[in-house]
Structure 1
Amino acid sequence: MPHLLLLAGLLAASLSATAEPLLLQAAQIKALGIETTVAGSPQAGRAGTLPGRVVVPTEQMRIVAAPVGGMVEMLAVAPGATVKRGQVVAQLASPQALELQRDALQSSSQAALLQQNLKRDEILFAEGIIAEARLQATRSAAAQATALASERRQGLAMAGVAPGKLGGPLALTAGIDGIVLEQHAQLGQRVEAAAPIYRIAKLSPLWLEIQAPLATAASLKPGAPVKLAGSEIGGKLIAIGRAVDSASQTVLLRAEVSHGAEQLTPGQVIEVEIAGTSGPQISLPASTLIRDQGKTLAFVQVSASDKGLAFEARPVRVVSQGGDSVVVDGLKAGDKVAVKGVSGLKAMLTGVGKE
């Protein structure tokens, strides 16, 4: 019996390596639910492209945040609005801002008073009326008060509070010229210190973050021309990642869009062509492929007749994978590939269920 089991196993393994095309009649095709798609068609994706995403360069983004706790009293802009650097975009009513103003005024007045005392004691010491120890004490007190006043002024500046007066709303301004991407707070909302109010970005130039197979990334160099598939929007490669994603086995590439950036939207998913990477590559649903005897296979329809349809298990190489789709080579545009009923075809290929 062990010898029979071993022989059956070897026979099943040899079927996947040397099997003839699988001929299926109409009833079998219907029972297995087999459906095909044309490789290279719009439904199957573009050939020779890599998946990517549009992002804003980090140095071109700014967060408008509440420097102190308070209530959002006014919002001047909405997502999509264009703003200029220094433009008031929101106002806060903040008791904490009033406390900062009060403390700054008090420390400034105290520093001015002690400076006057220092000048008086310097005159008195010069005339021999007071001891040097008193002058040193006055000088030390004046220096401490001046330092405290400077610290309070810096605190006001960091909070965006205007010095020299008490009261009034706290104005929040845009740090750069750009577009408002997100609004994080609502009118009347109470926010804590450092809570984000708006996210503002300059949208030119933009970056493309591209997922590329390790072999493809190894053949590229910064400066390689990059463009969006089917358009003239493009730029150049500026960085090649050194880490490989464990799930997709791809490397992150970064490209800068030098022309046509105004036609893109941050977060947009795109397909990218990079000079030197185009080739006979086809995008297919991931469910199209099977693994057998260490090989990756796709079932390609090779003939059709009154006897039925014939499918061939064709070896392919996975170039990249993203989401529910994979890019492979080993197929050509126009091949009819089975995208449904693949598990049934695999069972027939490997002899599962055969007597």
Structure 2
Amino acid sequence: MHFLTRLTVTAALLAGNLACAAEPMLLQPAQIKALGIETAVVGEGGPGKTGTLPGRVLVPNEQMRVVAAPVGGMVEMLAVAPGSTVKRGQVVAHLASPQALELQRDALQSGSQAALLQQSLKRDEQLFAEGLIAESRLQATRATAAQAAAQASQQRQSLGLAGVAPGKLGGPLALTAAIDGVVLEQGVQLGQRVETSALIYRIAKLSPLWLEIQAPLALAAGLKEGGSVKIANSEVSGKLIAIGRAVDPASQTVLLRAAVSQGAATLYPGQVVEVEIAASPGQGQRLPASALARNAGKTLVFVQTATSDKGLSFTARPLRVISQGGDSVLVDGLQAGERVAVKGVSGLKALLTGVGSE
């Protein structure tokens, strides 16, 4: 009780000398212990970082393909499952389709008709050269042959879009993977009847990957494309490739996109992660939220300005909060290497303002 009384008296004496926030406060070792004051060096825990921000792992659009039913039919065979690795051109499913048979039949018929009319055209050209038929008949034959050739070409293109092999009838329709990758999703079951364009498989190449990051507007405004990013508590890293120009009205955040190559194999599409982003030079310093105090409408931090055998000196310094996320804040007004109080700040504020001096 006697010690606490002395501490209160000391606080009162200090408060009388602290009308100006720039005046240093000298605390003896006993006072520092009683107030639970602990300090940390600014920038020591990772200089230039913005702290952690929420992010989500995505597959880049250009690295994803879908295997879809080109025509309606029944799923006759499924060769792979989600998580399987596939190669480009690998058969992943068979589709039994009457519509595919119709396409094959129409292609054969149109091809035969076009060939027959080409023969008729050659014959009429010979007869016209010999003066045995009128030019009008030759022109009519040419028009008919051209129309048949165009129809045959259209049928062949329809077969190609459907993935149906020309020149034969029957057999299941083989569906193949368009890229090397991993099966992310299976959209049908064996024996299921599907319509045209129904999703069979979703396949993706999983390196590199994207991170979509939600960042406060004040923080995003100071970032530049090419800045480094890192998954918290891991060796996974990458670079910013896009900074959004629109603000989400609900959260007041900006969407950032980063490409991750190093360590991408350890991530999973859809995974939620915590991301660290390198701050631009001069953007600020990261502090624990516990280091801040509010007084007279200002945000303060207590900077250790001197050390002696008599104790430690602290000066209250106003600063600007750039952004805050979780238990840390990004501030402007401190230099890397300065030492600040991160615990016992409420006691320092009491000494500063004179609370408890009576």
TM score, norm. by length of structure 1? 0.69
SS at structure 2 position matched to 1:113:
helix
Deviation of the 1:231 alpha carbon: 1.4
SS at structure 2 position matched to 1:117:
helix
Flag the structure with larger Rg. Answer: 2
Conserved? CA contact 1:280–1:332, under 8 Å: no
Distance 1:254 1:148 in 2: 47
Identity among equivalent pairs (%) = 73
> Over the residues paired in the alignment, what is the CA RMSD in angstroms?
2.8
The alignment covers a number of residue pairs equal to 263
Aligned to 1:225: 228
- Structure 1's 77 and 295: CA in aligned 2 closer, same or farther, altered over 3 A? farther
Aligned to 2:323: 319
Q: Please list every run of 5 or more consecutive structure 2 residues that lacks an aligned counterpart in the other structure.
A: 1-48, 291-296, 300-318, 332-339, 347-358
Letter aligned with residue 197 of structure 2: A
TM score, norm. by length of structure 2? 0.68
Q: Deviations over 1:169-227 (max 9, x none)?
A: 00000000000000010000000000000000000000111111111111111111111
Deviation of the 1:280 alpha carbon: 3.2
- Structure 1's 334 and 148: CA in aligned 2 closer, same or farther, altered over 3 A? farther
Distance 1:182 1:335 in 2: 53
Deviation of the 1:130 alpha carbon: 0.4
The counterpart of 1:82, out of the listed 85, 89, 95, is 85
Aligned to 1:151: 154
SS at structure 2 position matched to 1:242:
strand
Residue 68 in structure 1 maps to residue 68 in structure 2: no
Residue 280 in structure 1 maps to residue 276 in structure 2: no
Distance 1:147 1:93 in 2: 28
Distance 1:189 1:275 in 2: 50
The counterpart of 1:180, out of the listed 163, 172, 183, is 183
Aligned to 1:212: 215
Residue 162 in structure 1 maps to residue 168 in structure 2: no
Distance 1:332 1:267 in 2: 39
SS at structure 1 position matched to 2:136:
helix
Conserved? CA contact 2:324–2:330, under 8 Å: no
Deviation of the 1:230 alpha carbon: 1.4
Deviation of the 1:282 alpha carbon: 5.5
- Structure 1's 128 and 335: CA in aligned 2 closer, same or farther, altered over 3 A? farther
Conserved? CA contact 1:47–1:281, under 8 Å: no
Residue 241 in structure 1 maps to residue 247 in structure 2: no
Deviation of the 1:276 alpha carbon: 1.0
Aligned to 2:138: 135
Residue 262 in structure 1 maps to residue 265 in structure 2: yes
Letter aligned with residue 319 of structure 1: S
Q: Please list every run of 5 or more consecutive structure 1 residues that lacks an aligned counterpart in the other structure.
A: 1-45, 285-293, 297-314, 338-355
Distance 1:267 1:169 in 2: 35
